Chain A
Amino acid sequence: MFKVDIKTVPNLLAKISLFATICVFIVQSISKRWFWPQLWPNNFEFEETLSNFGDAIPLLWTTFIVAALVSLIGIILSAPLAWLIYNIGQKYRIVLILLVLFPALIPPVVSGVGYSIWFIKIDFDGNIAAVVAAHLLISLPYMLGIALSILFRQDRELFEASAGLGWSGDQIFFRIALPLMRAGLYLAAFVGFTISWGQYLLTVLVGNGQVVTLPMVVVSLATSADQTRFAALVLITMLVPALVTVLYHKVLNKTGEYEFANT
């Protein structure tokens, strides 16, 4: 008999909600005129679906480039910033932490308008670099938080011993602190990527209509009549972060740093 352990119900619910939603979107993306109250579409249109997926490639590319750059620049910045905060005197530490976390406190609708006007002022608006900068500002607090949390778990004596052996601060950072932070930086990169991937409002405001990403088109098509195209774009927007999640786990498994996730 089919038996369900109550303790595994949360996992089961997550799988069902995810698979059911993906299945409905797949059906919708290949359906033609799927009207209420049909439970199953009467007509299927594969050519249009293929063309919809084909049309999405430039959008997919732009969204991916932005998210990948945010992820990369985010870890390049968060590692030294975490090291600076870790080592700076107690009274400056709290100020630095508040400064870095501050962008996360501002509602995106407010910061988006502010960034947009600032970028127009310095003639930097409406391009991928501006969108990356805006996404970075909202992702960095979370990425830095992860880098800091792993750095504060390290034994300070390790760094003191290296200093005692005559290593310079920069050598300790690059040769000891950075490798110790590696697992946290993978997670930070993953978090940065997913935050940027899902950004809608900041992209709309800072991109000035010149940079178009997948979530922007998904939101604009949500209430349109072209539900086949909408479903195709939703599927792509949904599946890429899911694949990145799987990839992140593979990287952790391969590098043997899975333990980080559980400590």
Chain B
Amino acid sequence: MANPVTPNMYLSSRFKFVTGGALAVLLIPVFYSLWYVLAQANNAEGFIGNLSRIDAPENANGEFLESFLFTVLLAVISSTVALMAALISSALLVEHSIKNKFKKGVDGTWFEVLVSIPHAVWAAAIFLWLSQSGVLSRISFQLGLVENPADFPTLVRDNNGLGLFIHYLSKEYPFMLLVLTVVLWARYRYLSPVAASLGAGLIYRTRYLAWPILKPAALGVWLVSFSFILHSYEAPALLGSVKPRVLSVLVFELFKDPTIEKRATAALIGVLLLVVTAFASLVGLFLIWKSTRKVADV
């Protein structure tokens, strides 16, 4: 017999109208932004013309390609290293909580505090520690390692993006760790003691038990972190170098320019950022869906 209760019957017309209306009103500025950026990118010489001359002196002036590669590489490396560290740490913390029979699971309060600190503030903290006149430089002087600030290695506003890498690593790692420990704790705490009693060692449990549980979440947090770094503005504005500039900083500078060519270039780079994020999200969501199905099949 067919189920007499259909999902739609929980939604009254008034509920659908009010909620849908609120969503529509909220999305007006979003779609206007999208339209605006597409229209701007189509300005001057049109999409194709602008794209082919994106690095011309009157447009991005040779900065685009270098900035694009720098930003994508920074996002990939920072997210991947943070994920590796978070995966190892989450396994250690969950094993520790299981061993000590913690009822509430892993205590993530300190990591939550770290996540809650705004990026601009954390970037300022990184600057305070790592700049050539910062705390580490002063400690190095006291230890006799450097004689003046210039002797201390350039760790912030450097061309290699080391300061930015340290910033993203220290901010994305706690975020990833929080998500991964929650996911691992939910299932691993029941399965691990059973596997251990059947003779599975720590490495075997991690490889065949923890990793399949963590894989979809790991892909998800990597994706969130990658997209975030790709879009991030505050940290590169404080810790980034002048050349190559992170794409968001370049876009903002170009948007502020009064010439139509530069604004069109800014909008075009914005569209490219959106396309890269959307593509990465689609690939990531497909991989998550695939690995979730594999876990469900097991």
Contacts and interface: CB of A to CB of B under 8 A. Distances in A.
B37 A87 contact: no
Chain B: interface secondary structure?
helix
Report the contact-size class of chain A (Cβ under 8 Å from the partner): 35 or more
Contacts of B212: none
A9 interface: yes
A232 B185 CA distance: 39
B77 interface: no
Given A87-B10, A109-B248, A109-B251, A133 B104 contact: no
A8 B12 CA distance: 51
A9 B124 contact: no
Interface residues of B, number: 87
A24 interface: yes
Nearest to A167: B10
A87 B20 CA distance: 13
Interface stretch (B46-54, B55-63, B203-211, B232-240): B232-240
B121 A215 contact: yes
A14 B231 CA distance: 25
Interface string B212-235: 000000000000000100110110
A38 to B, nearest CB: 7
A241 B120 CA distance: 13
A201 B255 CA distance: 13
Interface of B: 3, 5, 7-12, 14-16, 18-20, 22-23, 26-30, 32-34, 36-37, 89, 92-93, 95-96, 99, 104-105, 107, 109-121, 123-125, 127-129, 133, 135, 137-139, 141-142, 149, 170, 174, 177, 182, 185-186, 227, 230-231, 233-234, 237-238, 248, 251-252, 255, 267, 270-271, 273-274, 277-278, 281
Interface of A: 5-11, 14-15, 17-18, 21, 24-25, 28, 36-39, 77, 80-81, 83-84, 86-89, 96, 99-100, 102-111, 113-115, 117-119, 133-134, 136-137, 140, 159-160, 163-164, 168-170, 172-173, 194, 197-198, 200-201, 215, 218-219, 222-223, 230, 234, 237-238, 241-242, 244-246, 248-249, 258, 261-263
